[in-house]
Structure 1
Amino acid sequence: MTTIHRRFALAAAGLAAVLALAGCGKQEAAAPAAASAPPAPPAPPAARVLVVGTDAAYTPFESQNEKGEIVGFDIDIVNAVAKKAGLEVKFVNTPWEGIFNTLDQGDRDLLVSAITITPERRQTMDFSQPYFDARQLIAVRSDASVTRFEDLKTLKVGVQNGTTGDEVVGKLLGKSNASIKRFESTPLALKELEAGGVQAVVADNGVVAHYLANNAGAGFKTVSDAGFATEQYGLAVKKGNAELLARLDQGLAGIKADGSYDRIYAAHFGAASK
């Protein structure tokens, strides 16, 4: 046998031996693949910030300070309610005329703007539990002979357009009576009274009282009338938004229970709430 054939034979024999040993031995299990880490849970969506519409021209309920920030009793109430109910809010200055349309169209999630709860408004929006009791109040010059609401029948009367004051004066004088002068805000109507352009102003008591307290030189007096019904302000939400309404009511109940409401009321009106 040649050397080449001998080497080939030896190599073949060696290979056969290796194969035989491999066949006789226990097969080793393949190393398990490294377990992959479970996928991380998706991050919770960021809480949606609720857009709150308010007409910031109704001191002390809502107005803008020198920095342009929206401040006031209503603002403090909504911030406290939101914190208690676990909501996040931002306020957007929204002119009174058209403010309810922004709610219906979805541009605002809720409204706070000294909004009186009325049967007519309940037809197109839903309201929280009341958070403030108000009455209409008449402002006249100190020397005026006005002692009751009926005395305004022959006078020029200023009101804020679209408010309860506008409604009651419209019923007394006739909605289209030229003696009714309508303004974008109650302070503007009161300025007109001071200038002599109107002889009386009818508006919510909180706004009138605040204006007189901060304008002692205006020479006004106020006249109340037993015929003015007590009104209640509420937070307005889009019709059918029961989930948001429930959380707002929860927050309102919470701030009344823990004393927060009374502290906010006293800060703006100087007395405990009634």
Structure 2
Amino acid sequence: MVLWKKAGFCLLLVSLVWVLSGCGQGGKEGEPGEQIVKVGTDAAYPPFESQTGDQKLVGFDMEVMEAIAKAGGFKVQIQHTGWDPLFEGINSQKVDAGISAITITEDRKEQYDFSDPYFDAKQQILLPSDSQVKTLKELQGKKIGVQSATTGEFVVHEAFGKTYPHLKGYDDTPTAIEDLKLGRLDAVVADKGIVLEYIKRLGPDKFKAVEDPSFPPEQYGIIVKKGNKALLDKINAGLKKIKEDGTYDKLYKKYFQVQ
């Protein structure tokens, strides 16, 4: 009887270990050994990430993240979190990683670990087509819209100071652009890919993009909690593979119409 109990206890331990091994780091239970990574995004940046009418997440970042996971040997569950909650979610471990056209900056690197860069970017100024503005400095005294806590806001602060009275911060870029359409703003500063996408939507006869030579080049990366090297290594390995096998180039061409 005692031997049977010991054997049953050992079997229970083995079963428990097997079940736990099927849970992804910070994710849900899946197949044995399968890691499910919860990824947050702010789905308000077409063509990088946006939502369809049925709330499906689509865009360049979404497909890149899914391709990285496939190449890296893990699965992802991507969810729309919003911008600030994305970073808060990493800190509280509600999500394991974040992808949302996130520029790699020294300040952010102090708080989060970034993957290798996956996209080269730059800021641009979105203006009405009849505007004569050619540089950011020429917007002195004019109303400028940005998404708060983004590099668009940072470059305006650099040019005019953090207390510039005509700067208006928004929760997302589309809302700022809507105010520009309505004449409440003179310009919007945002990432180049997003500005060009909106010019296609709004019409080049109504709006145009200006790239100030003073704007520094930027790169996007995928963020994880500081010190999560195991997940970061998997993401970097997957990113390396899709760059080498042509998958990344196909997605880039799909979204940015490179011939």
Cα 1:142–1:217 change in 2 (3 A) is closer
TM-score of the aligned structures, taking structure 1 as reference length? 0.82
163, 166, 171: which one pairs with 2:158? 171
Q: Is the contact made by 1:136 and 1:202 (CA closer than 8 Å) also made in structure 2?
A: yes
Could you list the per-position Cα deviations for residues 179-210 of structure 1 after superposition, in whole angstroms to 9, with x for gaps in the alignment? 01111221221121111000011100000000
Tell me, yes or no, if structure 1 residue 69 matches structure 2 residue 47.
no
User: What does 1:124-203 correspond to in 2, within 5 Å?
Assistant: 124-203=111-190
Cα 1:217–1:195 change in 2 (3 A) is farther
SS at match of 1:50: strand
Over alpha carbons, which structure has the higher Rg? 1
Cα 1:206–1:217 change in 2 (3 A) is closer
- CA distance in structure 1 between the partners assigned to 2:75 and 2:176 by the alignment: 34
**2:44 aligned residue:** 57
Could you list the per-position Cα deviations for residues 7-31 of structure 1 after superposition, in whole angstroms to 9, with x for gaps in the alignment? xxxxxxxxxxxxxxxxxxxxxxxxx
**Identical aligned residues as a percent:** 41
Could you list the per-position Cα deviations for residues 94-152 of structure 1 after superposition, in whole angstroms to 9, with x for gaps in the alignment? 11123211101111100000000000000010000000000000111111110111111
- CA distance in structure 2 between the partners assigned to 1:59 and 1:132 by the alignment: 15
Once the two structures are TM-superposed, the CA of residue 176 in structure 1 deviates from its matched residue by 2.7
Could you list the per-position Cα deviations for residues 219-257 of structure 1 after superposition, in whole angstroms to 9, with x for gaps in the alignment? 111111111111000000000011111111100000000
More displaced, 216-225 or 236-245?
216-225
Q: Flag structure 2 segments of 5+ consecutive residues without an equivalent.
A: 1-10, 23-29
229, 239, 242: which one pairs with 1:255? 242
- CA distance in structure 1 between the partners assigned to 2:227 and 2:86 by the alignment: 18
Once the two structures are TM-superposed, the CA of residue 178 in structure 1 deviates from its matched residue by 2.4
Q: Is the contact made by 2:129 and 2:204 (CA closer than 8 Å) also made in structure 1?
A: no
The aligned amino acid for 1:265 is Y
SS at match of 1:98: helix
Tell me, yes or no, if structure 1 residue 232 matches structure 2 residue 236.
no
- CA distance in structure 1 between the partners assigned to 2:236 and 2:253 by the alignment: 21
Q: Is the contact made by 2:127 and 2:208 (CA closer than 8 Å) also made in structure 1?
A: yes
**1:78 aligned residue:** 65
Tell me, yes or no, if structure 1 residue 107 matches structure 2 residue 101.
no
TM-score of the aligned structures, taking structure 2 as reference length? 0.87
The aligned amino acid for 1:148 is T
- CA distance in structure 2 between the partners assigned to 1:249 and 1:49 by the alignment: 16
Q: Is the contact made by 2:129 and 2:205 (CA closer than 8 Å) also made in structure 1?
A: no
Could you list the per-position Cα deviations for residues 16-66 of structure 1 after superposition, in whole angstroms to 9, with x for gaps in the alignment? xxxxxxxxxxxxxxxxxxxxxxx7974452324211010011111111011
Cα 1:170–1:49 change in 2 (3 A) is same
Q: Is the contact made by 1:73 and 1:268 (CA closer than 8 Å) also made in structure 2?
A: yes
Once the two structures are TM-superposed, the CA of residue 217 in structure 1 deviates from its matched residue by 6.5
Aligned residues: 236
SS at match of 1:123: helix
More displaced, 175-184 or 83-92?
175-184
- CA distance in structure 1 between the partners assigned to 2:50 and 2:165 by the alignment: 29
C-alpha RMSD over aligned residues: 1.9
- CA distance in structure 2 between the partners assigned to 1:116 and 1:176 by the alignment: 23
**2:26 aligned residue:** none
Q: Flag structure 1 segments of 5+ consecutive residues without an equivalent.
A: 1-38
